Amino acid sequence: MPSIYVDSILTAIPWTLHSEPFSPEFTAFLRPKPLLDFYTDRYKPMETSRLAASEDDMEMTGANGSRGPAVEVEEVSDGGLRAWLTVAGVMLVQMAGFGYCSSYGVFQDYYTRVYITNASPLAISWVGSLSAFLLNASGLITGPLYDRGYFSIMFYSGYFLSVLCLYLLSLAKPNHLYQVFLSQGLGFGIAGGLINLPTFAILPALQA
C-alpha cells in the first residue's frame, strides 16, 4: 500500500475517545518500509560512548572509595568427604524408598498373574497408588517436623517401619489383597513419607 494512502486513512480516522488524529510517530510506524531498513533501524550497533557508560554502570563505589563489581558472587564451599558421603546416603535411601514405590508395576504384574488372582487389576493397583500418594503427601506433615528439628526421629522411625512392613508383606497369604494393601500400600507409604522429604531437605543444610 503506498504511503500516501496510509497517511490519508490514518488522518481521516480519529481516536475513539478523542477527536485528534493519530500521532505522527504512530503514522510513521505504520507506514510500509523495506524489511532491510526495518532491521537496520531496530538493531543499530551500540555506540562507543554508550558501551563505556554501561561498563561504568557495572561497577560501584564501596564505602572505602574502592570500585568493584556491582554484584559479588559468594563462593560455596564443597563440604568435603562427609558432605559427599551424605549425598551418597541420601541416594541409597531414595532408591529404597521412592525407587521401591516407583517400581510397583513389577509387583502388580506378579500379583495379577500369580499371587492375587481373585482380584481385578484395578483393585490391585490401589496398593501402589496409595503408597505413592502417601510418599509425597506426607510432606505436609514431615516438612514442619523437619523445620522443628525432628529429622532423626522421623528418619529412624521411617526406616524401622519400612523394614517391618516388608517383613509383614512376606507373611501375606495368597489371594488376601487386604494384607498386601495394609503392609505395602498403607504401611510402606507412611514409612517412605517419613524419610522421603527429610532426606531431600538435609542436602541444602550441608552448605549452612
Calculate the CA dihedral of residues 148, 149, 150, 151 and round it to 10 degrees: 130
pLDDT single digits (tens) 84-113? 888 899 999 989 888 999 899 999 999 999
pTM (2 d.p.): 0.60
Which of 120 and 10 is assigned the larger pLDDT? 120
pLDDT at 134 over 50: yes
Do residues 93 and 199 lie in contact, with contact meaning Cβ atoms separated by under 8 Å?
yes
Report the pLDDT averaged over residues 164-185: 95
Q: What is the mean pLDDT of the chain?
A: 76
pLDDT at 180 > cutoff 90: yes
Q: Which pLDDT band, with edges at 50, 70 and 90, does 35 fall under?
A: very low
Quick one: average pLDDT of 22-40?
A: 52
DSSP state of 181: I
Could you tell me the residue ranges of all domains in the chain? 3-60, 80-207
pLDDT at 73: 64
Tell me which of 9-18, 73-82, 135-144 is least confident. 9-18
8 A C-beta contact, residue 102 and residue 131: no
pLDDT digits (tens, 9 = 90+) for 8-20: 544 554 444 444 4
pLDDT-above-90 percentage for the chain: 41
Is 194 within 8 Å of 158 (Cβ atoms)? yes
In this predicted structure, what is the pLDDT of residue 84?
87
The length of the chain is 208
User: Looking at residue 197, what is its pLDDT?
Assistant: 85
